[in-house]
Structure 1
Amino acid sequence: MQMSEPGVRLLYEAARELGLELGPVLPSFQLLYRRLLEANRATNLTAIRDEKGIILKHFVDSLSCLKGDGLEGSLRAIDVGTGAGFPGLPIKIVRPALHLTFLDATQKKIAFVEAVCQELGLAPVRCIWGRAEELGQHPDHREAYDRVLSRAVGSLSVLSELCLPLLKPGGVMIAQKGPGVEAELEHAQAAIGLLGGRVREVITFELPALREHRSLVIIEKVGPTPSKYPRRPGLVQKNPLS
């Protein structure tokens, strides 16, 4: 269940391509790797189960968020649709000062994230079983975060309605996307503006080792989100803003 020596080298070298030195935190990634494999024996947390896939498509892909806007210091951040803890867990391991909230609608996944955070001693963190549509209307969370992270599957119009209500004016949303995001961006521009956002930049790169194309869409919150957004669960996905 341990990450193999070639796997450790792959993680270390791929992270170096991103400008990160993982030496001091490699034991934390080893533990996360073990716990992910163990949990997958009992429940389906992720379809990616091979060593190379976990290292590159979960760990390194998550760390690529650090190419985006400042995740340094004690910022308040939220990982929307974290699933089994990605991108949040790898980022929290290398940026321990972040005040990071993990949000997912699947109870078994958020329970896994909470257990791993406790075992790794990651703090401050908060793990919430719930939906972004509801959290975005809650006074403790609405416009309360400096950074919103998401690599959840969904169009930028949908992700923007789920994520921008959580973001403070002046804060930044970092959305992980694949190649060819330009058409999606064009379709989402009106929705992003309506929700108080503005696209600051799109960072394109190749994921180390895999050489797959990735994009980070960086959206800045430039104004308040109208109070009727996000809409109730179901409407956001069924009738995306355009």
Structure 2
Amino acid sequence: MTPEGLALLRRGAEELQLDVTPHEAQFARLLALLRSGNERLNLTALKTEEDIVLKHFVDSLTTLRGGHLDGAYRTLDLGTGAGFPALPLAIVRPELDLVPLDSIRKKIDFVRDTAAELGLSHVTPQVGRAETLGQSAEHREQYDRVVARAVAALPVLAELALPLLRVGGVFVAQKGPLSDEELEAGRRAAGEVGGRVTEVDAFTLPVSGDARTLIVLEKQRPTPARYPRREGVPTHQPLFWKAK
């Protein structure tokens, strides 16, 4: 990582009231591994150091706003892709037991190899889909926290994430600007699958100023057995929302 990239990481973290000084070598190595892996595997559309630092590393760390991940929580990262937000979270929160989930094996293989290279033994990548895991006894209602970054519309995310949470667990969804219509559909979907929206945190991404929203959902009661629906249905037929 160049001095300029390191300065961006420090500045972005400082705006989030985080000290990344002890972790800078790991972030630098993560940057190198991501850029190398991207040449072979086409993992992310972000190519420049500035974009990766701000829109992958710092953006991932915004999930820590509000303190919802402050604890030794078993946490699933839904649709992790190349490992975001899971890998940055694993670096700065070693107490988290992180399970990055993605349906694309090459991405999970990359996340697994990268976690091993960085010494992140508390990261256990999983190939699969949330619809399947949500109906599996091994995963259904077994997680304290679920996180997801820009994966789908809020009502889709609610149906996929809440079945995986234990009662009392929390889902932190990272989104861009959020319309009133999507938020209302998300609230209704959350209620349908056993939870409720407890927080809507609109802010701007450090340094870049890009609009972001963290939506926090709490699991209040067991999810009805019919949810999540079979693979693909939540995305193509979202609860209370017209798919676009």
Range class of TM-score, shorter chain: over 0.9
The aligned counterpart of 1:11 is 9
Match of 1:49? 47
Counterparts of 1:226 and 1:151 in 2: how far apart (Å)?
25
Residues 173 and 181 of structure 1: CA distance in aligned 2, closer, same or farther (over 3 Å): farther
Query: What is the CA–CA distance in structure 2 between the aligned matches of 1:155 and 1:76, rounded to whole Å?
Result: 24
How far has the Cα of 1:111 moved from its partner?
Answer: 0.4
1:235 and 2:233 equivalent? yes
Give runs of aligned pairs for residues 86-235 of structure 1, distance below 5 A. Answer: 86-235=84-233
SS at match of 2:107: helix
Give the corresponding residue for 1:27: 25
Structure 2 letter corresponding to 1:148 = V
Flag as ranges the 4+ runs of structure 1 deviating above 6 A. Answer: none
Query: TM-score when scaled to structure 1?
Result: 0.97
Instruction: Report the alpha carbon displacement of residue 30 of structure 1 after superposing the two structures with TM.
Output: 0.4
What secondary structure sits across from 1:108 in the alignment? helix
SS at match of 2:185: helix
- Tell me the amino acid that sits aligned with residue 13 of structure 1: R
SS state at 1:126 partner: coil
Deviates more, 1:51-60 or 1:185-194: 185-194
Structure 1 position 188, deviation (Å): 2.2
* Partner-residue secondary structure (3-state), 1:68: helix
> 1:169/1:69 Cα in 2 relative to 1: closer, same or farther (>3 Å)?
farther
Structure 2 Cα separation of the partners of residues 199 and 159 of structure 1: 12
Q: 34, 45, 57: which is aligned to 1:59?
A: 57
1:202–1:217: 8 Å Cα contact kept in structure 2?
A: yes
User: Structure 2: how far apart are the matches of 1:102 and 1:88?
Assistant: 6
The answer to whether the 8 Å contact 2:185/2:239 transfers is no
The one-letter code matched in structure 2 to 1:224 is P
Q: How high is the TM-score relative to the length of structure 2?
A: 0.96
Q: Percent identity, aligned pairs only? A: 51
1:30-73 CA-to-partner distances (Å, cap 9, x unmatched) read: 01000000011111100001111000000000000000342123
* Structure 2 CA distance for aligned equivalents of residues 200 and 78 of structure 1: 19
Tell me, what secondary structure is at the counterpart of 1:223? coil
Q: CA offsets, 1:189-210, max 9 Å, x none?
A: 2211010011101111111110
Quick one: which amino acid aligns to residue 146 of structure 2? V
Aligned length: 240
* 1:181–1:146 Cα change, 3 Å: farther
Paired with 1:24 and 1:137, the residues of 2 have a C-alpha distance of: 40
Is there any run of 5+ residues in structure 1 with no aligned partner, and where?
A: none
Distance in structure 2 (CA, Å) of the matches to 1:104 and 1:152: 13
Structure 1: how far apart are the matches of 2:85 and 2:67? 15
Q: In the alignment, residue 47 of structure 1 is paired with which amino acid? A: A
Q: Deviations over 1:81-122 (max 9, x none)?
A: 000000111011000010110100001100000001111111
Q: How large is the Cα RMSD of the aligned pairs?
A: 1.0
Q: Is the 8 A contact 1:69 1:172 kept in 2?
A: no
